[in-house]
Chains A and B, each alone.
Chain A
Amino acid sequence: GQNIDQPTEMTATEGAIVQINCTYQTSGFNGLFWYQQHAGEAPTFLSYNVLDGLEEKGRFSSFLSRSKGYSYLLLKELQMKDSASYLCAVDGGATNKLIFGTGTLLAVQP
């Protein structure tokens, strides 16, 4: 079956670093995506990993280990505007259909 797991909620402090984990079990793997979704809005693309290792984009980094079925999103220098849901999604097939986890709701506190 297809399964993607993320923590439901996390809390962190402004200026700190937070790591959001994602584990997956899918029948195929063409890459892993991270999205940010603010309440009431559409998801916005953050990162894509297809090879093992760390991809860095400014304050956001994403890591992938295909052998472990594991990824994490690292957010540095947290800002209040980073309070949002973070969605992990796996591209599991030839037509690039994404399988989403239920998302992690991150609350950044002053």
Chain B
Amino acid sequence: SQTIHQWPATLVQPVGSPLSLECTVEGTSNPNLYWYRQAAGRGLQLLFYSVGIGQISSEVPQNLSASRPQDRQFILSSKKLLLSDSGFYLCAWGTAYEQYFGPGTRLTVT
């Protein structure tokens, strides 16, 4: 069965600091991968998706970026965090009829 790993689980970072969140998937090949963010009390917002190595599509303009250096690795980054970047970041993998989420990273920007 497929497993999604995300780390770290929680993170507190000052404004202006860099960010790197990592997601890895086991048990599947060439998955579609997604980064979502859930702000406090709000719905999930799709940030990036990838259909293959090096293929990244951005859904919303922001100071975040994503990379997919390997088939089952998806990285979310920022050079300088903003207060508004605080939230619950979720990685997901999916096919046409299923989509599963990793455990998430709770980011607080102070």
A106 at interface by CB-CB < 8 Å: no
For the complex, count residues of A whose C-beta is within 8 A of B: 24
B51 at interface by CB-CB < 8 Å: yes
Tell me if B96 and A42 are in contact (CB < 8 A). no
For the complex, count residues of B whose C-beta is within 8 A of A: 24
B94 partner, pick from A42, A44, A87, A96, beta carbons under 8 A: A96
Tell me if B101 and A43 are in contact (CB < 8 A). yes
When distances are taken between beta carbons in the complex, the residues of chain A under 8 Å from B104 are 41-42
Tell me if B49 and A48 are in contact (CB < 8 A). no
Tell me if B102 and A42 are in contact (CB < 8 A). yes
- Please give 11 more A-B residue pairs, beta carbons under 8 A apart, in addition to A45-B98, A95-B49, A102-B43: A35-B101, A42-B102, A43-B44, A43-B90, A89-B44, A91-B99, A96-B99, A97-B34, A97-B59, A99-B46, A100-B43
Q: Which A19-52 residues sit within 8 Å CB-CB of chain B?
A: 30-31, 33, 35, 40-45, 48, 50
Closest residue of chain A to B51 (Cβ to Cβ) is A95
What's the nearest-Cβ distance from chain B to residue A38, in Å? 12
Tell me if A45 and B99 are in contact (CB < 8 A). yes
Tell me if B96 and A30 are in contact (CB < 8 A). yes
When distances are taken between beta carbons in the complex, the residues of chain B under 8 Å from A31 are 96-97
Tell me if B97 and A48 are in contact (CB < 8 A). yes
Tell me if A100 and B44 are in contact (CB < 8 A). yes
B57 at interface by CB-CB < 8 Å: yes
Could you tell me the distance between the alpha carbons of A35 and B99 in the complex, rounded to whole angstroms?
10
Q: Which B77-108 residues sit within 8 Å CB-CB of chain A?
A: 90, 94-104, 106
Could you tell me the distance between the alpha carbons of A87 and B99 in the complex, rounded to whole angstroms?
13
Tell me if A97 and B101 are in contact (CB < 8 A). no
Could you tell me the distance between the alpha carbons of A45 and B4 in the complex, rounded to whole angstroms?
14
A42 partner, pick from B51, B90, B95, B98, beta carbons under 8 A: B90
When distances are taken between beta carbons in the complex, the residues of chain A under 8 Å from B98 are 45, 48
Q: List 25 A-B contacts (CB under 8 A).
A: A30-B96, A31-B96, A31-B97, A40-B106, A41-B103, A41-B104, A42-B90, A42-B103, A42-B104, A43-B90, A45-B98, A48-B97, A87-B43, A91-B99, A95-B32, A95-B49, A95-B51, A95-B57, A96-B96, A97-B49, A98-B44, A98-B94, A99-B46, A100-B44, A100-B45
